[in-house]
Structure 1
Amino acid sequence: MNLIAVKTIFRFEMARFFRTIAQSLISPVLSTSLYFVVFGAAIGSRIQEVDGVSYGAFIVPGLIMLSVITQAISNASFGIYFPKFIGTTYELLSAPVSFLEIVAGYVGAAAAKAMFIGVIILGTSFVFVDIQIAHPIAMVLFLILTCLSFSLLGFIIGIWASNFEQLQLVPLLVITPLVFLGGAFYSISMLPPLWQTISLFNPVVYLISGFRWSFFGAADVPIGLSLMAIAGFTGLCLLVIGWIFKTGWRLRQ
Structure 2
Amino acid sequence: MRINFQAIKVIYKYEMLRAWKTLFQSLASPVISTALYFVVFGSAIGSRIDTIEGVSYGLFIVPGLTMLSLLTQSIANASFGIFFPKFTGSIYEVLSAPVSFFEIMVGYVGAAASKSFVLGVVILITASFFVDLKIAHPVWMATFLILTCISFSLFGFIIGLWANNFEKLQIIPLLIITPLVFLGGSFYSVSMLPPFWQTVTLFNPVLYLVSGFRWSFFEVSDVNVGLSLGMIVFFLVACLAVISWMFKTGYRLKE
Normalised to the residue count of structure 1, the TM-score between the two structures is 0.99
2:108 pairs with 1:106: yes
Q: Which runs of 5+ in 2 are unaligned?
A: none
Relative to structure 2, which stretch is displaced further, 130-139 or 13-22?
13-22
Partner of 2:192: 190
- Counterpart code for 1:186: Y
Inter-partner Cα distance in structure 2 for 1:24 and 1:17 = 8
Paired with 2:97 and 2:24, the residues of 1 have a C-alpha distance of: 33
Partner of 1:151: 153
Q: CA deviation at 1:26?
A: 1.4
Structure 1 window deviating more from structure 2 (170-179 vs 27-36): it is 27-36
The one-letter code matched in structure 2 to 1:169 is I
Q: Tell me the CA shift for residue 153 of structure 1.
A: 0.2
- Contact persistence 1:81–1:159 (CA under 8 A): yes
Aligned to 2:253: 251
Counterpart Cα distance in 1 of 2:35 and 2:6:
38
Structure 2 letter corresponding to 1:24: S
Residue 40, structure 1, aligned to residue 42, structure 2: yes
User: For 1:141 and 1:231, how far apart are their aligned partners in 2?
Assistant: 11
Rounded Cα–Cα distance in structure 2 between residues aligned with 1:29 and 1:172: 21
Give the aligned partner of residue 95 of structure 1.
Answer: 97
User: Aligned-pair distance for 1:18?
Assistant: 1.1
For residues 52-84 of structure 1, what are the alpha-carbon distances to aligned partners after superposition, in whole Å with 9 as ceiling and x for unaligned?
000000000000000111110000000000000
1:5-26 superposed Cα distances (whole Å, 9 cap, x missing partner): 1011111111111101233221
- Partner residue, 1:58: 60
User: Per-residue deviation at 1:132?
Assistant: 1.3
In the other structure, the counterpart of 1:122 is: 124
Alignment match of 1:201 (pick from 200, 203, 214): 203
Question: What SS does structure 1 have at the residue aligned with 2:187?
Answer: coil
Unaligned runs of 5+ in 1: none
For 2:243 and 2:73, the matched residues in 1 are separated by 19
1:29, 1:117 within 8 Å by CA — same for their partners in 2? no
Aligned to 1:76: 78
Q: Which runs of 4+ in 1 moved over 4 A?
A: none
- Offset of residue 29 of structure 1: 2.2
- Note if 1:231 corresponds to 2:233: yes
Q: Which segment drifts farther, 193-202 or 21-30?
A: 21-30
Shift of 1:43: 0.4
Aligned match of 2:10:
8
The CA distance in 2 between the partners of 1:2 and 1:20, in whole Å, is 29
CA contact (8 A) 1:60 1:125 kept: yes
Give the % identical residues. Answer: 66
> TM-score with structure 2 length normalisation?
0.98
The one-letter code of the counterpart of 1:208 is: V
Counterpart of 2:29 in structure 1: which amino acid?
A: S
Using the TM superposition, give the Cα deviation of residue 236 of structure 1 relative to its aligned residue in structure 2, in angstroms.
0.5
Once residues 28 and 155 of structure 1 are traced to their aligned partners in structure 2, the CA distance between those partners, rounded to angstroms, is 22
Find the aligned partners of 2:164 and 2:27 in 1 and give their Cα distance. 26
- How many pairs align? 253
